[in-house]
Amino acid sequence: MKKVISTQNAPAAIGPYSQAIEVNGMVYTSGVIPVNPATGEIPDGAEAQARQAMTSLSNLLEAAGTSMDNVVKTTVFIKEMNDFGTINEVYKEFFTTDFPARSCVEVARLPKDVLLEIEAVAVK
């Protein structure tokens, strides 16, 4: 049976989807974009946007009863591959050991014209 996960500490869904779904001890998040959930603002620059998205992802996983330590896979979508290094440095602040598997792809455009979006799969 699946359980819908929702929190006010991550950006609200901007379409017909859930922030995350838990099923069989696994948590699957939707893509998290760098929108400050309290203000709706999007920070400037890749570093600040990466930090906001990762903070919101962490908050979403916490609401699901798990954490960044239990993430097994992430997918990072970035608007500009030249920002890869900057985003990677912020990513390493949130994943410090036992790094999850990851895919990172450059895309033409993201919702609200943000610079990145990240999704994750975690165990409980």
104 a catalytic residue: yes
Out of 21, 42, 63, 104, pick the active-site residue.
Answer: 104
Sheet arrangement for strand 3-5: 3-5, 20-23, 26-29, 116-123, 71-78, 101-106
Q: Any idea which residues carry the catalytic annotation?
A: 104
